[in-house]
Amino acid sequence: MLGVDFGLKNIGIAVGQTVTGHGNGLITLKAKNGNPVDWLELKALIDDYQPIAIVVGLPLNMDGSDSDMAQRARKFADTMAHRCKRTVVLCDERLSSWSAHRAAGNTTTADVHQESACRIVETWLREQNLST
Protein backbone atom coordinates (compact mmCIF):
# COMPACT_ATOMS: atom_id res chain seq x y z
CA MET A 1 0.00 0.00 0.00
CA LEU A 2 1.05 3.55 -0.60
CA GLY A 3 -0.49 6.40 1.35
CA VAL A 4 -0.75 9.84 -0.20
CA ASP A 5 -1.23 13.15 1.57
CA PHE A 6 -2.50 15.38 -1.23
CA GLY A 7 -1.55 19.04 -1.15
CA LEU A 8 -1.29 21.97 -3.51
CA LYS A 9 2.46 22.50 -2.94
CA ASN A 10 3.60 19.17 -1.45
CA ILE A 11 2.43 15.56 -1.75
CA GLY A 12 3.53 13.27 1.06
CA ILE A 13 4.04 9.59 0.29
CA ALA A 14 4.24 6.70 2.77
CA VAL A 15 4.35 2.94 2.43
CA GLY A 16 1.90 0.92 4.51
CA GLN A 17 2.52 -2.61 5.69
CA THR A 18 -0.57 -4.81 5.56
CA VAL A 19 0.85 -7.25 8.13
CA THR A 20 1.69 -4.70 10.84
CA GLY A 21 -0.79 -1.99 9.88
CA HIS A 22 1.91 0.67 10.16
CA GLY A 23 3.17 3.22 7.69
CA ASN A 24 6.62 4.64 7.04
CA GLY A 25 7.26 7.93 5.30
CA LEU A 26 9.03 7.68 1.96
CA ILE A 27 9.24 11.04 0.27
CA THR A 28 7.57 14.40 -0.15
CA LEU A 29 7.09 15.37 -3.77
CA LYS A 30 6.87 18.96 -4.92
CA ALA A 31 3.55 19.89 -6.47
CA LYS A 32 2.22 22.84 -8.40
CA ASN A 33 -1.47 23.55 -7.84
CA GLY A 34 -2.00 19.96 -6.65
CA ASN A 35 -0.18 18.21 -9.49
CA PRO A 36 3.21 16.59 -9.02
CA VAL A 37 5.91 18.68 -10.64
CA ASP A 38 7.27 15.39 -12.02
CA TRP A 39 4.64 12.70 -12.68
CA LEU A 40 7.44 10.38 -13.84
CA GLU A 41 9.01 10.51 -10.36
CA LEU A 42 5.69 9.44 -8.84
CA LYS A 43 5.20 6.73 -11.47
CA ALA A 44 8.73 5.39 -10.84
CA LEU A 45 8.01 5.21 -7.11
CA ILE A 46 4.81 3.27 -7.78
CA ASP A 47 6.62 0.95 -10.18
CA ASP A 48 9.32 0.30 -7.55
CA TYR A 49 6.90 -0.50 -4.71
CA GLN A 50 4.19 -2.25 -6.77
CA PRO A 51 1.43 -1.39 -4.25
CA ILE A 52 -1.79 -3.40 -4.29
CA ALA A 53 -3.56 -0.06 -3.89
CA ILE A 54 -2.86 3.62 -3.38
CA VAL A 55 -4.73 5.38 -0.58
CA VAL A 56 -5.28 9.11 -1.11
CA GLY A 57 -6.39 11.19 1.85
CA LEU A 58 -9.76 12.89 1.46
CA PRO A 59 -9.84 16.18 3.40
CA LEU A 60 -13.52 16.41 4.27
CA ASN A 61 -15.03 19.20 6.34
CA MET A 62 -15.63 18.35 9.99
CA ASP A 63 -19.34 17.77 9.22
CA GLY A 64 -18.38 15.18 6.56
CA SER A 65 -19.19 17.38 3.58
CA ASP A 66 -16.80 17.92 0.70
CA SER A 67 -14.39 20.81 0.95
CA ASP A 68 -12.71 22.48 -2.03
CA MET A 69 -9.60 20.44 -1.19
CA ALA A 70 -11.66 17.23 -1.08
CA GLN A 71 -12.88 17.90 -4.60
CA ARG A 72 -9.29 18.51 -5.71
CA ALA A 73 -8.14 15.32 -3.96
CA ARG A 74 -10.84 13.32 -5.76
CA LYS A 75 -9.69 14.71 -9.11
CA PHE A 76 -6.05 13.96 -8.22
CA ALA A 77 -6.97 10.37 -7.24
CA ASP A 78 -8.82 9.86 -10.54
CA THR A 79 -5.88 11.27 -12.51
CA MET A 80 -3.42 9.10 -10.58
CA ALA A 81 -5.46 5.95 -11.22
CA HIS A 82 -5.58 6.75 -14.94
CA ARG A 83 -1.91 7.75 -15.32
CA CYS A 84 -0.41 5.06 -13.09
CA LYS A 85 -2.82 2.21 -13.94
CA ARG A 86 -3.35 1.33 -10.27
CA THR A 87 -6.27 0.97 -7.90
CA VAL A 88 -6.68 4.24 -6.02
CA VAL A 89 -8.98 4.52 -3.02
CA LEU A 90 -9.94 7.49 -0.88
CA CYS A 91 -9.73 7.61 2.90
CA ASP A 92 -11.20 10.23 5.23
CA GLU A 93 -8.23 12.16 6.54
CA ARG A 94 -9.92 14.64 8.86
CA LEU A 95 -7.40 15.74 11.49
CA SER A 96 -4.51 13.73 9.99
CA SER A 97 -2.49 16.88 9.26
CA TRP A 98 -3.26 18.32 12.69
CA SER A 99 -2.22 15.04 14.31
CA ALA A 100 0.93 14.83 12.18
CA HIS A 101 1.93 18.40 13.11
CA ARG A 102 1.52 17.55 16.80
CA ALA A 103 3.56 14.37 16.45
CA ALA A 104 6.27 15.97 14.32
CA GLY A 105 6.97 18.82 16.72
CA ASN A 106 9.94 20.76 15.37
CA THR A 107 10.71 18.61 12.34
CA THR A 108 10.73 19.89 8.79
CA THR A 109 7.60 20.51 6.76
CA ALA A 110 8.45 17.57 4.47
CA ASP A 111 8.33 15.24 7.45
CA VAL A 112 4.81 16.45 8.28
CA HIS A 113 3.54 15.53 4.81
CA GLN A 114 5.05 12.07 5.07
CA GLU A 115 3.67 11.64 8.59
CA SER A 116 0.21 12.63 7.34
CA ALA A 117 0.55 10.04 4.55
CA CYS A 118 1.45 7.44 7.22
CA ARG A 119 -1.66 8.29 9.20
CA ILE A 120 -3.83 8.08 6.08
CA VAL A 121 -2.60 4.62 5.08
CA GLU A 122 -2.74 3.38 8.71
CA THR A 123 -6.34 4.60 9.04
CA TRP A 124 -7.32 2.81 5.84
CA LEU A 125 -5.60 -0.43 6.92
CA ARG A 126 -7.28 -0.27 10.33
CA GLU A 127 -10.69 0.21 8.69
CA GLN A 128 -10.07 -2.81 6.45
CA ASN A 129 -9.22 -5.02 9.45
CA LEU A 130 -12.44 -4.02 11.21
CA SER A 131 -14.53 -5.12 8.25
CA THR A 132 -12.97 -8.59 7.87
Residue 98, pLDDT above cutoff 70: no
Contacts of 67 (CB under 8 A, 6+ apart): 59, 60, 61
Kind and range of the H or E run holding 132: none
Residue 43, pLDDT above cutoff 60: yes
Look up the pTM and report it: 0.86
Give per-residue pLDDT as tens, 6-41: 999 999 999 999 889 999 999 999 999 999 999 999
Kindly report the length of the chain.
132
pLDDT at residue number 75: 97
Evaluate the CA torsion angle 60, 9, 35, 128 in order and state its sign.
Answer: negative
Q: What are the residues facing 3 on neighbouring strands? A: 14, 55
Pick the CATH number of 2-130 from 3.20.20.210, 3.40.50.300, 3.40.50.720, 3.30.420.140: 3.30.420.140
Other CB atoms within 10 A of residue 129 CB: 10
